[in-house]
Amino acid sequence: MKNKYDRIQTVFIGGCPRSGTTLLGALLGSGPRCVATPESQFKQTIPADLKVDWSRGLGRDEFLFALKKNFRFRLWGVQPPGFSGGGMMTAPEYRDALLSIVDAYASKEQIPDWTVWIDHTPENILEPLGLMRIFPEAKFLHLLRDPRAVAASLLPLDWGPDTAEHAARFWAQKLAYGLALEKARPDRCMRVYFEDVVKTPEKTLKAVCTFCGIAFNESMLAGKGFTPPAYTRNQHNLIGSAPDPHRLEAWRTRLDPWQIEEIERIAGDLMELSGYSRAAQGEPGRRPWGKRLLLGVMPFVSYVKKKRHGFRKKYYGALRHRGADGNDD
């Protein structure tokens, strides 16, 4: 008997958080028969937490128990998959279970006859071999963005790096995973520059679609293929509109000169090798005394941010658990 999910094409977008993975997902998700879903970290974290050995399989009951408690799954606003019994799932059966969740989300969003799953979870780039085992035909898009723009987007948030130095190292670490995948599997992974997505969206999307084996459609240019859940809506407030090239250089005014210098001091070589030019000249300048004071209290600031983020997760997770339709992040 033919499996209805065998016809599904899967596209995993990954990269450093705040590199535009959600934007690219919304653009591709605007195409006919494409469904872009909320981030799906649970597809990787649950098997990892349960220390799954795929030669033995994943217990259905254990999977359902972990899935129902998972915060990211709750944001999807769908029911967990129904199994006819317990026992163990093979990797292909686990794929079908995940795609049944995507199917439920597509039904909720009124996307009939979908055939392409667009998954824009940034962490996709961190564990590609595990995903390839579950989705043997999947294609990966490594999204790369100027680290100064990434830092300018990350620093105001209540999660992630708190300083320019930490943001630069965070970007470099994620870049290493993407470069390794590009080199090891050029047939499965394509590098995509965020700046190209914004400046030349039609040309870039056509190249992406060709690589992924999906049909390009002009509807993709509108970027209306994904509505962020309430938990992430504030930080994704531009999703749903076409890319704006005028925002590409916003980091020049959102970051202080000493922050730009610090990012370039740490990630400058990787920046240049990736095609980004340095803006700072010479050695990093002396930090203004106010900024030095701010760095001194940063541990407290970090503590407050983490507390706020934890509160938001509990709040929106509780809304979803009760079936309410909260919408943020």
Contact yes or no for 6/135 (Cβ under 8 A) = no
Q: Is residue 279 part of a domain?
A: no
Q: Is residue 202 part of a domain?
A: yes
Q: Is residue 262 part of a domain?
A: no
What is the block-wise mean pLDDT of the chain (329 residues), using blocks of 10 residues?
84 95 94 95 95 94 94 92 84 96 95 95 94 96 97 86 93 96 96 97 97 95 79 60 82 92 95 91 57 58 54 49 38
What per-residue confidence (pLDDT) applies to 319?
Answer: 46
SS3 string of 125-151?
HCCHHHHHHHCCCCEEEEEECCHHHHH
Question: How many separate domains does the chain show?
Answer: 1
What per-residue confidence (pLDDT) applies to 326?
Answer: 35
If 0-12 CB within 10 Å is exposed, 13-18 middle and 19+ buried, where does residue 93 land? middle
Q: Is residue 329 part of a domain?
A: no
Q: Is residue 47 part of a domain?
A: yes
- Return d(Cα 42, Cα 69) in angstroms, integer: 10
DSSP lists the bridge partners of residue 69 as none
What per-residue confidence (pLDDT) applies to 306?
Answer: 55
Radius of gyration of the chain from its Cα atoms, rounded to whole angstroms: 20
* pTM score of the predicted model: 0.85
What per-residue confidence (pLDDT) applies to 238?
Answer: 59
Q: Is residue 224 part of a domain?
A: yes
* CATH number for 220: 3.40.50.300
Q: Is residue 13 part of a domain?
A: yes
Contact yes or no for 19/31 (Cβ under 8 A) = no
Residue with tokens 């093979």: 90
Cα–Cα distances (Å) from 158 to 162, 225, 235, 301, 315, in that order, read 9, 26, 10, 10, 15
DSSP lists the bridge partners of residue 140 as 12, 189
Q: Is residue 201 part of a domain?
A: yes
Range of the domain at 158: 8-244+296-321
What per-residue confidence (pLDDT) applies to 231?
Answer: 59
